Structure formats: C-alpha cells, structure tokens
Amino acid sequence: MDKNTLAMHMNELRNTANHTRASFDLFNQSLENQALIGIFYSLNAIMLNTSTLAGAIWPTKARNRTRGEALRKVFGLDEKHPLNDRRLIEMFDRPDEKFDEWISNTKGKKVVFDFIGNFDEFSNQDVTEEGIYRAYDPERKLYYTRGVGYNVDALAKAVMELGSRIMTAYYEMFPEAREAEEKHLKAMEAAEEQAEANAKEKAVAPKKAPAKKPAAKKAPAKKTPAKKPAAKKAPAKKTPVKKPAAKKAPAKK
C-alpha cells in the first residue's frame, strides 16, 4: 500500500473511531435518561461504526485482504481479535434480505421487538434467541439483533483499544495534527475554566436590591362642579295704583 493510500485509510479510520466513541457517549446518556429511541439509535450507531472498523482491518473478501494485512501491520494487530467476527463485519450487508430471512425463519414463533429489560422474562414466554429481533438487557449488557447477541461492554473495550492504536499511528504519520488538536483542546479547557470562574463570581456577588418603582401618581380628585346660583326671578310687576280722580271745581253761581 502506497503512502498516500495509507494516509487516506488512516484518516477515515480515525474518524470512524471517533464516531464510535461518540455513539457510546450517546448510548450512556440515553440509558441514564431511559430514552427508548435514543438507546436503540445509539446501539445501532455503535454496531455500524464497529462493523466499519472491523471490516476495514479484517475484510472478508479475498480482493481486500492485501489492504487488511497492510493495516494490521501498521496497527500491530493479528487475526485473533474480538472484532474479527464475520457476523459483525457483515451485519449491515444486504439488510433487507436478512430481514426477510429472519421473518421466514421465525414464522409461527413468538418474536420480540424493541425490548429493554431482563431476558429471563422470555423463558416463561417460549421466546428463543432466534426470535429476538432487537432487544437490550442492561444487567447482562447484551444487545440482540436478528437473533445474534453481542456483549456491549466487550465491544466497547475492543473498540477503545483499537482506537488507541489508530490514533497513535495517525499522529506518527501526521505530527502536525497532534499539535493542532492539543492547541484546540487547551483553548477549549481555558474557555471552560473561564466560564466556571464567571459563574462562581456571579454566584458570590451580592444581589442588588431591585430599585423601587416610583409610586403611581393618583389621578387628581375630580372637583365637584359648583352649583350655579339659581336664576333670580324677575320681580313681579306691581299693579299701578289708580290715582284718585281729580275733583271737579264747584260750578260758579
């Protein structure tokens, strides 16, 4: 394998290892929150990424074996490894056909979909391993899909160990990448420390009493309108006093 091709594979394997780690983080968070969809979504992501890693390093097809040998040499791996499992490597090949095969093989039998709990419950219900399409037992750390069980803790250890080998080889090939990532991590840590310091300072600082709002001004009382003085009645017209009739002078004799 030439150096350029190796570099391309190394970069993609590093990304896949990081995606697998993120899938385990999501799985743990979903378990803690008892989120059914999150648990099965993250388990599917774990299996997909793990299958991708295993298939790149332990390919099942003859035409890809040269690539697998070259990568195993770089990482210091041999054929005996927990991830060198053909069922795991080919898990996502022809998923539609495999689902049809599972339906055909379990016809007339009891089956289980999307179950989380103790698998001992199945013993009283005539459910065999083959009939478990998708289920997880938190006590045993077992994940079943299409009748095949995988120990999630064992997968996690194998993936973390392989991821460590991949990162070591990647940094040897790209030393400048290590420097850039370390610089980025330091910057993130400094930002987190500053955020924590700011939060503590805010918590210790005495809280200012809220400024009192000025009392609302009362609307001035409405003045009672002054009563208008009653209109003066016009004085009654006096009846004119009749003057006594003028006395006539006595007739002259």
pLDDT in tens, 41-68: 999 999 999 999 999 999 999 999 999 9
Lowest mean pLDDT among 81-85, 102-106, 177-181: 177-181
pLDDT of 104 reads 96
Determine contact, residues 47/93, Cβ cutoff 8 Å: no
pLDDT of 106 reads 95
Q: How many domains, in total, are found in the chain?
A: 1
Percentage with pLDDT > 70 across the chain: 78
Closest CA to 172 of 14, 1, 2: 14
Q: What is the 3-state secondary structure (H, E, C) of 48-73?
A: HHHHHHHHHHCCCCHHHHHHHHHHHH
Determine contact, residues 150/88, Cβ cutoff 8 Å: yes
Query: Residue 91's domain spans which residues?
Result: 3-200
* Residue 239 is assigned to a structural domain of this protein: no
Q: How confident is the model at residue 99 (pLDDT cuts 50, 70, 90)?
A: very high
* Residue 242 is assigned to a structural domain of this protein: no
* Residue 22 is assigned to a structural domain of this protein: yes
Lowest mean pLDDT among 123-127, 132-136, 209-213: 209-213
Confirm whether pTM is higher than 0.75: no
Q: Which one is predicted more confidently, 237 or 210?
A: 210
* Residue 187 is assigned to a structural domain of this protein: yes
Residue 253 has pLDDT above 50, yes or no: no
Q: How confident is the model at residue 188 (pLDDT cuts 50, 70, 90)?
A: confident
Residue 221 has pLDDT above 60, yes or no: no
Tokens found for residue 212: 């009192």
Determine contact, residues 170/11, Cβ cutoff 8 Å: yes
* Residue 237 is assigned to a structural domain of this protein: no
Mean pLDDT, the chain, rounded, equals 84
* Residue 60 is assigned to a structural domain of this protein: yes
pLDDT of 117 reads 94
Q: Who contacts 122 (Cβ-Cβ below 8 Å, separation ≥6)?
A: 112, 128, 132
* Residue 48 is assigned to a structural domain of this protein: yes
Lowest mean pLDDT among 24-33, 95-104, 109-118, 177-186: 177-186
